[in-house]
Structure 1
């Protein structure tokens, strides 16, 4: 999945979690936390696998649910200490959504319909206990971007991104006012300093 697809799915999962838990709210901080969480596995694994040979695949160490459990646990512990538990929850939802949706529809539907050969694509979830699958286009950023096509899966991701933007607008564009206030405050301070 591409970054915008991960962002959309993670955001929509976070909004759903707020509704289901009947607590938490979208703020600039929680939206940044969920956004970072949705990109975190790729920010670790892709450079360490594609630019160096430290990791065997762009879906290995940080995509693993073993690593995710440790990192989310640490982030949650820090969040509790800093009285930012909701930010930690947002990060965790974004992170887990990334690893899960990277399975892709073919794998999920294949397994659900009894095609157990699709299980070979799920092994990254338990890396290093299981090896990473042999993904095509998993050797460089260039190769990955050259393989980009406007296929049904890509269109689905773009539609999901549009739905996420619509939900963000429908829920009052949370975080936008905070940014506007910070920008105004910055410019106001800048003018006061000049005088």
Structure 2
């Protein structure tokens, strides 16, 4: 998924969480943490992949092991700084990034290209393109199959981004004044 798609998914997830948990739209600091968390894994892995440090752009920061460590560090810092809401925003956004990076074919039982989640326990590639681990229900097959086409999946990111941006606007653009006041 591209950065704008990750933003859309993460902001929608956090805004819905904030409304459900606190009964309000996101506050500025957590909203910014959600936006940063939506990009965090790629900000680490993509440049290191381009530089040849990692074999590809989904490696360390995309793994569940590293994610567990990041969550522990973020919440430890949040407890010390009394910023639990901000930490939760970051964590939800980071987790949404990982889920959004799972190829649609994985939901059809094909685990190829999901190995990044299990680094260092699985190397990339472990599974072949045609290796299937399970047979999903027919309804899952019907709903997910169109999104396995890269062009359709890419086009899906446009409404996700637009929905995230619209929701951010309807929420009052949380974080915008916060950033402006810090200059």
TM-score, length basis structure 1? 0.74
List alignment gaps of at least 5 residues for structure 1: 112-117, 135-149, 187-195
Structure 2 residue ranges without an equivalent (≥5): 127-149
Match of 1:96 in 2: 95
Residue matched to 1:107 = 106
1:189 matched to which residue of 2?
none
| Structure 2 counterpart of 1:127 | 119
What are the within-5 Å matches in structure 2 for residues 46-195 of structure 1?
A: 46-52=46-52, 54-108=53-107, 110-111=108-109, 118-133=110-125, 151-179=151-179, 182=181
Cα root mean square deviation, aligned: 2.2
| Map 1:17-56 → 2, pairs under 5 A | 17-22=17-22, 26-52=26-52, 54-56=53-55
Distance 1:178 1:58 in 2: 31
Preserved CA contact (<8 Å) 2:19 2:26: no
C-alpha separation in 1, matches of 2:151 and 2:44: 27
Equivalences, count: 160
* Deviation digits for residues 102-141 of structure 1 (CA, Å, limit 9, x no counterpart): 0132332x22xxxxxx11222211100011348xxxxxxx
Residues of 2 paired with 1:96 and 1:14: CA distance?
A: 11
Ranges of 4+ aligned residues in structure 1 off by more than 4 Å: none
**TM-score scaled by structure 2?**
0.78
Residue by residue over 1:131-188, the C-alpha shift from the partner in whole angstroms, topping out at 9 and shown as x without a partner, is: 1348xxxxxxxxxxxxxxx9222221011111111112222332344456x28xx7xx
Work out the CA distance in 2 between the residues paired with 1:25 and 1:130: 39
Is contact 1:59–1:132 with CA below 8 Å preserved after alignment? no
Q: Could you tell me how far apart the structure 2 residues matched to 1:153 and 1:159 are?
A: 11
Contact 2:32/2:175, CA 8 A, preserved across alignment: no
Structure 1 residues 75, 23: closer, same or farther in 2, change over 3 A? farther
SS in 1 for 2:111: helix
CA contact (8 A) 1:60 1:132 kept: no
